[in-house]
Chain A
């Protein structure tokens, strides 16, 4: 049973609760027929609701408090994870985690944004909003991976780079720009997965790679719908319209030629069955890694630069 429920999930959750209650009675009464009918009904309802989500509702799903985060995926699909800390300059940024790990027989460097589950852990993780030292730690780890010839997997899930005073003093913009620059010609395969929120430069700062995957119920754009609403509509009330206008869901980004592949999630979102969700991702990661392994490094870099070079639309 999910702890947190979004408005549009309510009818489903209510029905599920009813079924649970009936099961308790079913020890004394034979109501298995009724239960079966209700189960079919809830399945239909799920399909109807989740297949008809608006863009804003998908944004809400991407932010679902029960959604798996980077460390959940690492712990579910990888082994021997050794977390490495610090940028060797200022401190260890808790909003980005990373380290070597095994994915089946592959040894990879895995790096991702990390959010917290409750107030305390969210404060510890700064709500998944990195400071410059987070991006610099990520770059240090990526260079380490390149040194030892290990492929890199990055997981994106951030409401944005932290807009703080000290972040500016320490060069938030420079740290992101440097990562884009360095990641574009790093001599190892890089796979990027958007696992939750992909908010602007804060997400892209660890998001340059050879394959860009996006989980089904996530968003990725130049700005969050709320901020977009506040700037263009001069009010916070147009987030739904902003989400529609920004075209920020996985199918949108596939159509725009920005991502390569959508990673399917269990019906209702990755949080409904985190293990199944992680297993699907694992299968796809292994498949993509195998393909990238076959490409020679200089060709890989050339293709990576070309890939981003093609993005955009104009007339002349």
Chain B
């Protein structure tokens, strides 16, 4: 039996840590800095200390890119169907429902008309939070329609990508979205209308192997992971650790697959400058 005994609890145990008001503070994945939401917004969701670019949704990106009040969304209601009756550990239609509920989005891309410093454009931005930004029939079709709209209304096209690749739960139909979107881009190109592709973290798989890499001008955000195969798969294949910076935006610039790496706070001005040079 213990001869020492604490007579009473002298150290108060905190029953539960006080939570900071929901979502007010964010921790930087790059350097660990704690940043207030307001400040983060002012910094275009990048870290003041290390320039780390936070993953943001289409709503935030379009606020950064498009003139206030000028965005008109297209095909907002389009939703995926579980056409293959796909079931892994979860039925696909339930996965869609849950994602819709959690994110308030209908699928992984938002497209529409808008203005960038007064220049009329068709613009799209992806949401990584919706099933990893994966491209199924809805993403493919919305992007294809955005391209058509750009061609028919003679407006430049800007697409901000963020995706893990094609959506497995729609099988080969997902794969065909690569061909669908690329074919439409060929038509757009034949009509001599500019397309600027912006790649954010991460842009991999089927989206990179179709519209993300097909910009007349390809822009990447600093540090963004951009590639075809995922780093884990490559590591498995070659059985070695991957070099520092592999598949990052700067690596893609070095190897000639993006025209420039642009900080998010300069994105709008860079796109404006480019459009004024090639379009206006």
Interface residues of A (CB under 8 A from B): 161-165, 167-174, 176-178, 180-182, 184-185, 200-201, 204-205, 207-208, 220-223, 228, 231-233, 238, 241-242, 245-248, 252-253, 256, 258, 304-305, 308-309, 311-316
Contacts and interface: CB of A to CB of B under 8 A. Distances in A.
Contact of B228 (A163, A180, A221, A248): A163
B175 A185 contact: no
Contacts of B140: 312
A246 B171 contact: yes
Contacts of B86: 245-246
13 contacts: A163-B229, A164-B237, A171-B256, A173-B228, A181-B182, A185-B190, A201-B178, A222-B166, A223-B168, A245-B87, A256-B83, A308-B180, A311-B180
Contacts of A258: 172-173, 176
Most buried by A among B140, B182, B237: B182
A220 B243 CA distance: 33
A174 B182 CA distance: 11
B173 A312 contact: yes
Nearest to A205: B209
A167 B135 CA distance: 23
Interface of B: 75, 77-81, 83-84, 86-89, 136-138, 140-141, 144, 166-180, 182-187, 189-190, 205-206, 208-214, 227-229, 233-234, 237-238, 242-243, 246-247, 251, 255-257
Contacts of B251: 169
Given A178-B214, A180-B183, A256 B81 contact: no
A221 B171 contact: yes
A181 B80 CA distance: 25
Nearest to A198: B172
Contact of B182 (A165, A170, A180, A253): A180
Contact of A172 (B180, B228, B238, B243): B228
B183 A308 contact: yes
Contact of B81 (A181, A184, A204, A313): A313
Contact of B88 (A177, A205, A245, A248): A245
B83 A313 contact: yes
Contacts of A311: 137, 173, 176-177, 179-180
B166 A200 contact: yes
A164 B178 CA distance: 21
A184 B182 contact: yes
Contact of B209 (A176, A252, A312): A176
Q: Please list the 6 inter-chain residue pairs (A to B) with the smallest Cβ-Cβ separation, ordered nearest first.
A: A312-B137, A163-B229, A184-B183, A180-B182, A232-B88, A173-B228
Contacts of B242: 165
B141 A312 contact: yes
B177 A312 contact: yes
What's the dominant secondary structure at chain A's contact region? helix
A208 B179 contact: yes
A184 B186 CA distance: 7
A181 B186 CA distance: 6
Given A165-B238, A173-B228, A313-B83, A220 B185 contact: no
Nearest to B179: A308
Contacts of B183: 180-181, 184-185, 208, 304-305, 308-309
Contact of A314 (B89, B141, B175): B141
A241 B86 CA distance: 10
Nearest to B254: A169
A316 B78 contact: yes
A245 to B, nearest CB: 5
B230 to A, nearest CB: 8
Nearest to B138: A314
A222 B180 contact: no
B184 A232 contact: no
A171 B208 CA distance: 10
Contacts of B137: 311-314
B213 A177 contact: yes
B255 A171 contact: yes
Contacts of A201: 166, 175, 178, 205-206, 209, 228
B211 A177 contact: yes
A94 B144 CA distance: 34
B247 A222 contact: no
Contact of B208 (A167, A177, A312): A177
Nearest to A185: B186
